[in-house]
């Protein structure tokens, strides 16, 4: 079964440093997403991306966040200057089409720890 | 925007008993309601979903019901087994127009099935 792949699985970074979280969506999928989950809390939408541009973003996704699809396979989330409260599990997801339920697949996540 | 409330936050049952988890949503435009199971440290995995044109859907021991008028939907697990122990999240999305299939999650229910 096709998977969404995320690297690294765990990243520790100093406060104020930049981090890049990487994702390889399923190859025929067109819509890409980032979600985050603070420990013990619910999964929260950050941003959706389609046709090489952001289609929607949440209030969490402020100026310190950016996303990019640098090539035909990778989808990255950059946090420019990390804060302690950015510590969370970050999930990438992709879907085949806007309305295709079973095409919505989450990656295994990157646990980001900001110290 | 959409707001999803989920109850209970924790649920403990004996093996073989049934478990019911309930969610309410606020946006009457929501028309797709997936349920995810998340084991500790792992990705959310879709276990069942329901669309607004259906009132009930069943898949073996798992069923979901939807009441659009009351804006609530429920997950029912029968004959629970220890391996059903996990956090369960409900979610909702309008899945139309420019929403790009953004999921709004409930806060999760920690289900513990005692042998």
Q: Is B54 on the interface with A (CB under 8 A)?
A: no
Q: Which residues on chain B are in Cβ contact (under 8 Å) with A50?
A: 100
Q: Do A104 and B101 touch (CB under 8 A)?
A: yes
Quick one: DSSP state of residue B93?
A: B
pLDDT-above-70 percentage for chain A? 94
pLDDT at A99: 52
CB-nearest to A108 from B42, B96, B102 is: B42
pLDDT tens digit sequence for B29-49: 888 899 999 998 888 999 999
Nearest CA in chain A to B89: A42
Dihedral pair phi/psi, residue A53, rounded to 5°: -150, 160
Q: Do A108 and B106 touch (CB under 8 A)?
A: no
Q: Is B100 on the interface with A (CB under 8 A)?
A: yes
Q: Residue B2 — pLDDT band, cuts 50, 70, 90? A: confident
Q: Is B90 on the interface with A (CB under 8 A)?
A: no
Q: Which residues on chain A are in Cβ contact (under 8 Å) with B96?
A: 99
User: Is pLDDT at B77 greater than 80 in this prediction?
Assistant: yes
What is the average pLDDT score of chain B?
91
B38: part of which helix (H) or strand (E)? strand B32-38
Q: Which residues on chain A are in Cβ contact (under 8 Å) with B51?
A: 101
- Whose tokens are 């004996």? That residue is B14
Q: In a mutagenesis test of the B interface, which of A41, A45, A58, A113 is the best target, namely the one with the most B β-carbons within 10 Å?
A: A45
Q: How far apart are CA B21 and CA B109, in angstroms?
A: 7
Residues pairing with A5 in the sheet: A24
pLDDT < 70 stretches in chain A = 97-103
User: Is pLDDT at B112 greater than 70 in this prediction?
Assistant: yes
Hey, which bits of chain A come out as E strands?
5-7, 10-13, 19-24, 31-37, 43-50, 53-57, 65-68, 75-79, 88-95, 105-106, 110-114
* Cis bond before residue A51 (omega within 30° of 0): no
Q: How far apart are CA A21 and CA A108, in angstroms?
A: 12
pLDDT tens digit sequence for A50-78: 888 998 899 999 999 999 998 878 999 99
CB-nearest to B101 from A44, A98, A107 is: A98
């Amino acid at each position: 079964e096709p998977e969404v792949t995320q690297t690294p699985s765990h990243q520790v970074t100093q406060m104020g440093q930049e981090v890049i979280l990487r994702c390889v969506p399923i190859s025929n999928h067109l819509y890409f997403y980032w979600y985050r989950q603070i420990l013990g809390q619910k999964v929260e939408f950050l941003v959706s991306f389609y046709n090489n541009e952001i289609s929607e973003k949440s209030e969490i996704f402020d100026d310190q966040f950016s996303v990019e699809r640098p090539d035909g396979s990778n989808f990255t989330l950059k946090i420019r200057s990390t804060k302690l409260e950015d510590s969370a599990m970050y999930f990438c997801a992709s879907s085949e089409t806007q309305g295709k339920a079973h095409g919505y697949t989450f990656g295994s996540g990157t646990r980001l720890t900001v110290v | 925007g959409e707001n999803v409330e989920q109850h209970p936050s924790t649920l403990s049952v004996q093996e073989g008993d049934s478990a019911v988890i309930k969610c309410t949503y606020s946006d009457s435009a929501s028309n797709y309601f997936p349920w995810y199971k998340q084991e500790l440290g792992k990705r959310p995995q879709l276990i069942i979903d329901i669309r607004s044109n259906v009132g009930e859907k069943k898949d073996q021991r798992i069923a979901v019901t939807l009441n659009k008028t009351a804006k609530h939907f429920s997950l029912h697990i029968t004959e629970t087994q220890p391996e059903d122990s996990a956090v369960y999240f409900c979610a909702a999305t309008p899945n139309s127009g420019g929403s790009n299939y953004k999921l709004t999650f409930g806060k999760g229910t920690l289900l513990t099935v005692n042998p």
